[in-house]
Amino acid sequence: MQTYVLVAYASKYGATKEIAEKIGQVLNASGIVTDVEAIEQVRDLKPYTAVILGSAVYAGQWLGEATAFLKAHEIELAQRPTWFFSSGPTGEGDPIELMKGWRFPEGQKAFAEHIQPRDIMLFHGALDLGKLNFAEKLIVKGFKAPTGDFRDWSVITGWAVQIVEALTAVKA
Ligand SMILES: Cc1cc2nc3c(=O)[nH]c(=O)nc-3n(C[C@H](O)[C@H](O)[C@H](O)COP(=O)(O)O)c2cc1C
């Protein structure tokens, strides 16, 4: 059976979408046919042999469409190799330290335990004050969150390469 991968993302301001696109580019360049879709566009997981699922983090939570997707597709996700990622912390240094040990939203951990993703990754995110609404600007200023683009494309590419290796090993 041909390996056919879906990268599904939930993104409010585009940073997570671009991470998903980079992962899709790495897989496609390696010869693994991969679709990259906004999560709310995905209707059917049946054609896909593996799924990579990512969301931006807001107030320690995945976006609503990502949590709804986990709930709606829990069984199908558990039947395939899956990988989860989040895009969140801004600032220099290890993303998990920046998030004080946070790796994955508490409320979705039961889904992760059932689905058993091959990996759960936390990437740095990007914050552009100019794109935020008034309330979000207040929150970001209140938390003194560093603004700017902290995404590390070599880390993102490296993670995607590991997925390629895992999928190739599965096929072999
Ligand atoms: C109001 C607000 C709350 C946020 N809360 C968190 C958070 O709890 N943890 C985190 O790591 N990042 C947090 N972020 C940062 C975003 O997750 C980060 O900017 C992400 O890359 C945005 O992705 P998007 O452009 O795909 O929406 C927050 C950003 C905003 C504006």
CATH number, domain with residue 156: 3.40.50.360
In the numeric block, the tokens 């301001």 are attached to 13
Tell me how far the alpha carbon of residue 109 lies from the centroid of ligand 1, in angstroms: 19
Tell me how far the alpha carbon of residue 124 lies from the centroid of ligand 1, in angstroms: 10
Round to whole Å and give the CA distance between 87 and 40. Answer: 18
Round to whole Å and give the CA distance between 67 and 49. Answer: 21
Computed over every residue of the chain, the mean pLDDT equals 96
- What predicted TM-score, i.e. pTM, was given to this entire model? 0.97
Query: Per-residue pLDDT averaged across 64-75, rounded?
Result: 97
Query: Per-residue pLDDT averaged across 143-152, rounded?
Result: 95
Q: Cα dihedral sign for 94, 97, 101, 105?
A: negative
Q: What is the extent of the structural domain holding 128?
A: 4-171
Number of domains in the chain: 1
**Is 30's pLDDT higher than 70?**
yes
CA–CA–CA angle 84, 18, 152 (5° rounding): 75
- State whether the beta carbon of 13 lies less than 6 angstroms from ligand 1: yes
Tell me how far the alpha carbon of residue 38 lies from the centroid of ligand 1, in angstroms: 17
Query: Per-residue pLDDT averaged across 109-124, rounded?
Result: 97
- The rounded percent of the chain whose pLDDT value lies above 90 is 97
Going by alpha carbons, the residue nearest to atom 1 of ligand 1 is 136
